[in-house]
Amino acid sequence: MNRSTFLKTTAAATAAAVTAPLDQLFASGTAAPHQLPALPYAFGALEPWIDARTMEIHHGRHHQAYVNNLNVALATAPEHLKALPIDDLMRRIGEVPADIRTAVINNGGGHANHTLFWTVMRPAREGNAPVGRLADALTRDFGSADTFFSAFDRAALTMFGSGWAWLASDAQGRLLVLSTPNQESPLMQGLTPLLGLDVWEHAYYLHYQNRRAEYVTAFRRIIDWDAVERRYAAI
């Protein structure tokens, strides 16, 4: 069995193992509340900065597992919570019953964070830089784009263990950099995440091993600033 066949076989086995109980949990003809979104580009589109195999495993196994486990956790949740889009569910985490709240934070956060992550990256380009009203706001709130990048990189590099670095906005459009541990989302703090960098080892270890700083630096080349700007404009 070659590597490609192995990946497909193990992924199919994993999906089958999880699908059976999900079908039973939502057997009334209702689809599971959350689904894995398709990647908006090919697995290899971000090479050489993020390799295709990392993307394939990260999206197809890690993100899929968050979605599956979230659906399992929500099986006993009130119907109005099952019907919420994932970002709204994370904003309203305080309404989630205590017995499933940790599972929803871990797996709902994982689903929300990765869904954003895929959409704020694109193939590398020269001179990649913030654009539009967001670029103006970065200068207003950080002093310069370089100062923003310093703060963002520091957030990514000083996160001990697994977590995320974020550029986020408050309700008034003020920008801030923060980090969150594990799969916690800025949405849980009433903030709107605009740009997120996954610094779990599963996001970079195959290519960079323990060299997180190289991965953080490489990320600048593949940020889709047009997508980040659109997120900011929607606030």
The site for Fe ion (CB under 5 A) is made up of: 198, 200, 203
* Beta-bridge partner residues of 175: 169
Residue nearest to Fe ion according to CB distances in the complex: 198
User: Residue 44 and residue 27: Cα distance in Å, rounded?
Assistant: 37
Give whichever of 96 and 112 is closer to Fe ion, judged by the CB atom: 112
Give whichever of 108 and 130 is closer to Fe ion, judged by the CB atom: 108
Give whichever of 201 and 226 is closer to Fe ion, judged by the CB atom: 201
- At residue 206, what is the residue type? L
Give whichever of 62 and 92 is closer to Fe ion, judged by the CB atom: 62
User: Residue 70 and residue 68: Cα distance in Å, rounded?
Assistant: 5
* Closest by CA position to 192, among listed 155, 162, 227, 234: 234
Least distance from Fe ion to the Cβ atom of residue 164, Å: 9
Least distance from Fe ion to the Cβ atom of residue 228, Å: 18
Least distance from Fe ion to the Cβ atom of residue 161, Å: 13
Least distance from Fe ion to the Cβ atom of residue 114, Å: 6
Residue-by-residue DSSP string for 81-127? HHTS-HHHHHHTGGGS-HHHHHHIIIIIHHHHHHHHHHHTB-S--TT
CB hemisphere CA count around 96 (13 angstroms): 25
Least distance from Fe ion to the Cβ atom of residue 163, Å: 10
User: Residue 87 and residue 13: Cα distance in Å, rounded?
Assistant: 29
CB hemisphere CA count around 86 (13 angstroms): 25
Give whichever of 198 and 224 is closer to Fe ion, judged by the CB atom: 198
Give whichever of 153 and 198 is closer to Fe ion, judged by the CB atom: 198
Least distance from Fe ion to the Cβ atom of residue 58, Å: 6
- Tracing tokens 């889709």 back to the chain, one arrives at 224
Give whichever of 134 and 197 is closer to Fe ion, judged by the CB atom: 197
Least distance from Fe ion to the Cβ atom of residue 200, Å: 5
User: Residue 31 and residue 71: Cα distance in Å, rounded?
Assistant: 10
* Closest by CA position to 235, among listed 188, 198, 179, 190: 190
